[in-house]
Amino acid sequence: MASFCCRRGFVSSDSCTRCHSAVETSLHCLRDCPFARDIWSKMGFTPSPLNMQQLDCSRYRNNAIFNQHDPWAPANITFDWIPPAASAVKLNCDASTISASSVLGDELLAIWKDLLLEWEAGYKEIICETDCHETYILLKDHNIPFCSAESILILRIQEILLRPWRVELALIQRTANQVADALAKHAIKQRLVYVEWLLPWDDVQHNIDLDMKT
């Protein structure tokens, strides 16, 4: 999807490559694009928001019953951003790149560096959320192929996770991780290494509101 590729810096525009009239999100591709609607119409079916919700409900119901170990099963995924308990710190990770480096490697690097910051700050209870399915699977899997390019980063993260603190890894919907996405894009555009903000600027505050309403 162009919206995903644009967020990652792979393409310059997030417009639909077919109709060029809207942002190319998954919902646009499946339902709202005139080309998609034409296909649905030829099949004798008119997609609506309710139809798409029913498709999602069917998927989650099937996972809940037949495939509970699937990371995208309802019990294993966070659908919206929820503030942590007072005793914990929530770490939302995302990566953005303008180079030809591995997106997966960048996601792992972001988690590793963020966990190091939290450890050095003295926090003892962390909730680490990522919207990268492959990253989540690799960090949960203890049988990592050592031939993979990201194996060193994975081992470093696993070493951090074994330290005397509590870290919970969680998979979050990308639509509920927009703040991390916005900050990652801002950092890569401004060539920032490490920045602290006491208050969010307007665009980030808007993303915070969206994440909490997802």
Asked whether residue 23 falls in the same domain as residue 61, the answer is: yes
Kindly report, residue by residue over 186-208, the tens digit of the pLDDT: 887 888 777 888 888 788 888 77
Give the domain-ending residue among 72, 97, 113.
72
Asked whether residue 112 falls in the same domain as residue 145, the answer is: yes
What is the domain range of residue 35?
2-72
Domain count, the chain: 2
Asked whether residue 127 falls in the same domain as residue 38, the answer is: no
Alpha carbons 50 and 55: distance in angstroms, whole number: 9
Give the domain-ending residue among 45, 72, 99.
72
Pick from 37, 174, 11: nearest CA to 93: 174
Asked whether residue 56 falls in the same domain as residue 111, the answer is: no
Kindly report, residue by residue over 56-78, the tens digit of the pLDDT: 555 555 555 555 555 555 556 66
Give the domain-ending residue among 72, 88, 114.
72
Look at residue 100 and tell me whether its pLDDT is greater than 80. Answer: no
Query: Domain holding 207: CATH number?
Result: 3.30.420.10
Decide the pairing of beta strands 125-130 and 77-78. Answer: unpaired
Asked whether residue 64 falls in the same domain as residue 88, the answer is: no
Indicate the range of 17-26, 44-53, 148-157 predicted with least confidence: 44-53
Judge whether 180 and 93 are in contact, CB under 8 Å. Answer: yes
